[in-house]
Structure 1
Amino acid sequence: MNASLNEIESLCKKAARGAGLSWGLAEEAGKAARWLSGNGLDGPALLAAQLRLDDGCAYPQLTPDPGAERWELAGRALCPLIAGVTLSDHAFLLRRKGEIQLGAMSHPQLLMPFASAAARQLNIALQVSWQGCVLEFSPGGEAVLIQADNFICPHVAGVHCTRIALATQGANAICGSIPALVTSVHEYLESLAARTYVPASDASRLSGAGAGLSDNT
């Protein structure tokens, strides 16, 4: 099915909340899916795959230590959503140290929207790489794919974020039309989003939630 960016963002936000993320993190997840979709990548499918891994996990379990030399979690791969939000909150480290090293990560493409935001925030060029893949982000946040051998990968051993002098300009800019929303992905995200719905009751309707009785007059 075809979906607008607004519809994708709303669905993905609710699904992330249903999977256990706070509303703030869920909003970031929705924005990330929107960014990916707006650049021709399948944001909902990537998010759905990650939420399957994170479903039910507590936020502290997924949060890396930004003060560590290498951001990683004991016994599991980093969540790119949580790592991405942490990167956004500590983007100043890229200016101070020049790089941030991250450990094993699932679905690293989900880190891209946050890298784009960090590049814009600091007005710097930024390189994000993992084995077989190199991406660069201009100070304006535009993404360019330099090496694509392992671009689509569900798990990588490590990710490096490095400040660079100038982003490469070329024909491999990441862009494209919004991909169609795959039915199975849509159904899974809807099932997560449904967890956020509270069944209406007579008491809630009378207190002002939902349509209320006055709409029937």
Structure 2
Amino acid sequence: MIDQTMMDLSLGEFETLIKRAAKGCGLGFGEADDMAASARWVMAHRMAPAGFTHEFLQTLERTSAESRRPVISAEDWATGWVGTSGVFCSLSAGIALSDRENLIRAGLNLSLDNVVSPVFLLPFLAGLSGRTGLVVQACWYDLSVSLNGKEALIDGDSQHLMASAAPVRLQFLGEGTTTGGVPMKPHGRAELSREELAALQALAHRTYAPATEESRLKGAG
């Protein structure tokens, strides 16, 4: 029988746990930091449970950083995006968008086919909105998420937030553009089941150096 008792962590503790778990899955320091920050934002807005983050980390573990990186046309970066093997990684796509912040403008539309776990792209879009002043709208299936630098507005079926993969349409709208949707109020704590906590800790423990006789004699562990 699975113990579904909920555990309560600070968002900082949760972010640190995800960072270590991401490193345990083979992500580099930069990617692990971005993954942890993204997971913290998703958890704070209660868009997906910790178990969904664990599943995404396992997906990342099965791929290399190079294979996750989108191929972007130097001539026309806004329309020349190609996912490796036809698949986009939400983490890598978010990093790539953030790196091109100076090129983003109102009126830009971007379509990404088959984005894996698209909910983890949203924190990067929220950051872009906050820094540029633009309203960013992300749509997949019959779900629309609008980010205006202050809040996230959900319109449509929120179950699609936990889509394992979906085609995503991005629109960058002018500052002050009004969009519909229900605000997703951020929470100040992370909630996860004992099972979810144990699964993430198991990934994080991979980063710990194994105890040796010498370290035990020195009092480690």
TM-score by length of 2: 0.82
Structure 1's 72 and 45: CA in aligned 2 closer, same or farther, altered over 3 A? farther
Kept in 1, the 8 Å contact 2:69–2:92? The answer is yes
Q: 2:171 — aligned with what?
A: 162
Kept in 1, the 8 Å contact 2:68–2:84? The answer is no
| Alignment match of 1:94 (pick from 97, 104, 107) | 104
Q: Structure 2: how far apart are the matches of 1:170 and 1:160? A: 17
Deviation at 1:141, TM superposition (A): 4.2
Structure 1's 136 and 6: CA in aligned 2 closer, same or farther, altered over 3 A? same
Kept in 2, the 8 Å contact 1:2–1:180? The answer is yes
Q: 1:62-77 to 2 correspondence within 5 Å? A: 62-67=68-73, 68=77, 69-75=79-85, 77=87
Deviation at 1:129, TM superposition (A): 1.0
Q: 2:154 — aligned with what?
A: 145
Code of the aligned partner of 1:181: L
Q: Which has the higher strand share?
A: 2
Deviation at 1:167, TM superposition (A): 4.1
Q: Structure 2: how far apart are the matches of 1:186 and 1:9? A: 12
Deviation at 1:111, TM superposition (A): 0.8
| Alignment match of 1:106 (pick from 116, 120, 124) | 116
Deviations 1:23-47 (A, max 9, x none): 1110111111111122233353332
Kept in 2, the 8 Å contact 1:32–1:43? The answer is no
Kept in 1, the 8 Å contact 2:48–2:161? The answer is no
User: Aligned pairs, how many?
Assistant: 207
**% of aligned pairs identical?**
25
Q: 1:13-162 to 2 correspondence within 5 Å? A: 13-42=19-48, 44-67=50-73, 68=77, 69-75=79-85, 77-95=87-105, 98-138=108-148, 140-148=149-157, 150-156=160-166, 158-162=167-171
* Uncovered stretches (5+) of structure 1, i.e. residues with no partner: none
Q: 1:191 — aligned with what?
A: 202
Deviations 1:86-142 (A, max 9, x none): 11111233217712221211211111100100111211111111121111111x242
Higher relative contact order (CA 8 A, sep 6+): 2
Kept in 2, the 8 Å contact 1:15–1:190? The answer is yes
Kept in 2, the 8 Å contact 1:11–1:190? The answer is yes
| Alignment match of 2:193 (pick from 143, 159, 182) | 182
Structure 1's 30 and 151: CA in aligned 2 closer, same or farther, altered over 3 A? closer
Deviation at 1:51, TM superposition (A): 1.2
Aligned Cα root-mean-square deviation (Å): 2.6
Query: Matched residue of 2:139: which SS?
Result: strand
Structure 1's 142 and 199: CA in aligned 2 closer, same or farther, altered over 3 A? same
